[in-house]
Copies of this chain bind each other. A is one copy, B any other.
Amino acid sequence: MESVINCAAYCEGRKTGNVELDNISEVLKQSDRFVWIGLHAPEKEMLSKMQLEFGLHELAIEDALRAHQRPKLEAYGDTLFIVLRTAQLKGPRIDFGETHFFLGLNFIINVRHGSSIPYTDVRTRCESTPHLLKKGPGFALYAVMDAIVDQYFPVIDKLEEELGSLEEKIFHERFRRETTAKIYKLKRKLLEVKRAVSPLIDICNRLMRFDLKLIDEETRPYFRDVYDHAIRINEMVDNSRELLSTALEANLSMASISQSEVAKRFAGWAALIGVPTMIAGIYGMNFNVMPELQWRWGYPVVLTVTAVLCAVLYFRFKKSGWL
Contacts and interface: CB of A to CB of B under 8 A. Distances in A.
B270 A191 contact: no
A74 interface: yes
A195 B293 contact: no
Nearest to A321: B174
The 10 closest A-B pairs by CB, nearest first: A280-B281, A266-B267, A283-B285, A287-B299, A259-B260, A273-B274, A284-B284, A255-B256, A171-B181, A277-B278
Contacts of A315: none
Contacts of A294: 288
Given A76-B221, A187-B243, A171 B180 contact: yes
B296 A290 contact: no
27 contacts: A59-B222, A70-B231, A70-B232, A176-B253, A176-B257, A176-B260, A177-B257, A181-B250, A195-B239, A246-B248, A248-B253, A256-B256, A259-B260, A265-B267, A267-B269, A269-B271, A270-B274, A273-B277, A274-B274, A276-B281, A277-B277, A277-B278, A281-B284, A285-B299, A286-B293, A288-B295, A290-B299
Nearest to A263: B262
A117 to B, nearest CB: 21
The main secondary structure of chain A at its interface with chain B is helix
How large, as a class, is the contact surface on chain A? 35 or more
A184 interface: yes
A264 interface: yes
A297 to B, nearest CB: 8
A321 B177 CA distance: 13
Interface of A: 57, 59, 69-70, 72, 74, 76, 167, 170-171, 174, 176-177, 180-181, 183-184, 187-188, 191, 195, 221-222, 224-225, 228, 231-232, 235, 239, 242-243, 245-260, 262-267, 269-271, 273-278, 280-290, 292-299, 302-303, 321
Given A235-B195, A255-B256, A283 B287 contact: yes
Contacts of A273: 271, 274-275, 277-278
A302 B184 CA distance: 52
Given A271-B273, A284-B286, A286-B286, 8 more contacts: A174-B321, A176-B253, A187-B243, A195-B235, A259-B259, A273-B277, A280-B281, A288-B294
B289 A57 contact: no
Contacts of A195: 235, 239
B260 A287 contact: no
B255 A262 contact: no
Contacts of A256: 252, 255-256, 259
Nearest to A83: B228
Contacts of A59: 221-222, 224-225
